[in-house]
Amino acid sequence: KLHEIEEKLNKLRNFIDGNIRFLTIKQVSVVENKDSEWVYDVTVEPHHLFISHGLILHNTVSIAKAGIVATLNARTAILAAANPALGRFVAQKTIAENVNLPVTILSRFDLIFPIVDRPNPTLDEKMSEHILKLHQTRGYVGMPPIPPDLLKKYISYARKNIVPRLTPEAAERIKKFYLEMRSKGTVGEKESIPITPRQLEALVRMAEARAKMALREEVTVEDAEAAIRLMTYVLERTAYDREAGIIDIDMIMTGKPLSQREKLMKLMDIIREKVREIGGPVSREEVVTTAEEAGLDRRFVESSIERLLREGLIYEQRPGYIMPT
């Protein structure tokens, strides 16, 4: 018993002398809820890249507390920001390779904007002036274009009272753009999917949101045009396959554009052929050498083998030797 007591005391001593710091609650305040009907307690689990996969994928939040298990609707707009996986955005890589988020999450966002820091004399001057003013005058805050109180009331009124209806003219314009983009998927022998019904729904949401901002009951052609301009801008910067020279939504939806899919299929054919010749697992180096002879880049082949291993399309039977699953 004395030994057990000593162990417990040592544990307590480790807690007290460790990095844990105990904070004292000085005050508990009641916050008045003015405009929210529901408040959800979202538990962030370890090793998740995002708050909740269900929140993004299915617009639901799953809660298991005090013996109650429930799935609640969470219809809300989500604005997220992410740092590039390599510290800097690399234009030569796909958006899925730049941002360390699963494509199942990434593909759910209607708009994705790569924000790149490029030298610009005008913007650099404004930024430097703003930062220096913050240090010259404590508490300095630039005058906002719209007073915050007015903006808060405006948004609250629009959310509660304005439900825009899609007019036939606006619907026709969105439909025309969608069909035009779909028809651009075939260029010679190359076939890609430039846009999917998910982007069509996003266009409708954006057009309705613009009409709601203007406190209009109807979605006009101008709203549809604004949504189309936004979607085009995003697709050109996040879904453009430079190698194939076409827009391919699979750069966002799957992380594998047309040009990469063709190369991956070629690599898989090489691995299968080598396995058939040998009658067993083939060495990585032999696959890389054969692929280089077939015109594939060595760096691409090596990274693709790692990717195929992660995705379970091939497996390593013993160190350095691979086989298709």
Mean pLDDT, contiguous 10-residue spans, the chain (325 residues): 79 65 68 62 45 53 60 68 81 79 79 88 90 76 82 91 93 93 71 83 93 93 94 87 75 75 85 86 86 85 84 82 85
Q: Are strands 282-283 and 314-318 parallel, antiparallel or unpaired?
A: unpaired
Q: Which residue has tokens 């305040």?
A: 29
Compute the residue count for the chain: 325
Q: How far apart are CA 278 and CA 238, in angstroms?
A: 42
Which pLDDT score is estimated for 46? 47
| pLDDT of res. 315 | 84
How confident is the model at residue 187, as a pLDDT? 59
For residue 64, the model assigns a pLDDT of: 62
- The amino acid that residue 231 corresponds to is M
pTM reported for the whole predicted model: 0.65
C-beta separation of 281 from 317 below 8 A: yes
User: Cα angle vertex 201, ends 200, 205, to 5°?
Assistant: 120
Owner of token pair 């988020």 = 101
Domain boundaries, the chain: 2-73, 148-253, 258-324
pLDDT of residue 68: 60
Cα end-to-end distance, the chain, whole Å: 56
Predicted pLDDT of residue 217: 92
Rounded to the nearest 10 degrees, what angle do helices 148-161 and 197-213 cross at? 120
Are 314 and 271 in contact by the 8 Å Cβ rule? The answer is yes
CATH topology of domain 258-324: Arc Repressor Mutant, subunit A (1.10.10)
We find that the CATH architecture of domain 148-253 is 3-Layer(aba) Sandwich (3.40)
Supply 257's token pair.
């554009």
Give pLDDT, residue 140.
Answer: 59
Residue 199, burial from CB neighbour count under 10 angstroms (0-12, 13-18, 19+):
buried
Question: How far, in Å, CA of 259 to CA of 279, rounded?
Answer: 30
Contact of 263 with 252, CB cutoff 8 Å: no
pLDDT recorded at residue 176: 93
